[in-house]
Amino acid sequence: MDIELRSFFEMLADRCDQVGSSLCIGLDPDPLRIPRYLGSGPEAIYKFCAEIIEATADLASAFKPNAAFFESIGVEGLHVLDQVLRLVPPEVPVILDVKRGDVGSTAKHYARAAFERMRVGAVTVNPYMGFDAVEPFMEFEGRAVYVLCLTSNRGALDFQLQEDLYLRVARRVGEWNHMGNLGMVVGATRPQFLSSILAISPDVPLLIPGLGAQGGDLEQIMEAAPGLPPHHLLFNVSRSILYAASDKSFGHQARVAARQYSKLIADAREKVARAP
């Protein structure tokens, strides 16, 4: 079947099976951390991402470029982002991390930018403004929307964990998911809350940031979600792969780190599956 005709989650499921893991590699090119020999500015960002993609694409279940790291270098950054997206092999799904969330009339344009112009498979969306901020993204056939539910940052304590707001989000996402193209973002740093989320919306795939530099607990996540298919637990790792080295070996070392995380994810899944 043509890649363009498959839904994002079908494509992601196939890719996870193909690589034997569910590792999503975040593309967060910080100009202050990329190897100095690459130079500076848009060209350096492009060269950095190009080498990371070339070194790790066969290990990645998905790539997740964060638009902010491209936008911050100016208007040229959007051009670089477009070029970087073109480097990703067509069989590897792409999630554009933009965390959009605005009124419906504005959200329609954000959705068009992501799905028609950049042609990514999925985006991240903030649900704070309600269904009309999410719906325009859902209307694109075959594309997926990861809704922020419980994030891995400290600021989650300010709202998400107050009066179980994250559970209300999980419930709404389950109710909205009549087209089967919604997912949720749930941080790996809060595995103790995952069971309650899955109890409310068991069929919604999860994008799980927070492994690596943020110290998320992979094994606890797996134990809280036994039996879920790999594409329902997509683990994103960014800094620990991108910045595994700061010299000319950075591509090779990124590959080593990506292989290690891929194996850790696969091993943790197998361990939980073997448990009585």
pTM of the model: 0.95
Average pLDDT, the chain: 94
Q: Where are the domains of the chain?
A: 3-269
Contacts within 8 Å (CB) and 24+ apart, 46-49:
46/80, 46/83, 46/84, 48/250, 49/80, 49/84, 49/87
**Catalytic annotation, pick one of 99, 248, 263, 271:** 99
Q: Quick: pLDDT tens for 90-104.
A: 999 999 999 999 999
99 is catalytic: yes
How many percent of the chain have pLDDT more than 70?
A: 98
pLDDT at 5 (0 to 100): 56
Reported confidence tier of residue 211, pLDDT bands at 50, 70, 90: confident
User: For the CA atoms of 98, 101, 105, 110, what is the dihedral angle to 10 degrees?
Assistant: 0
Q: Which CATH number is 3-269 given?
A: 3.20.20.70
Q: Classify 238 as helix, strand or coil.
A: coil
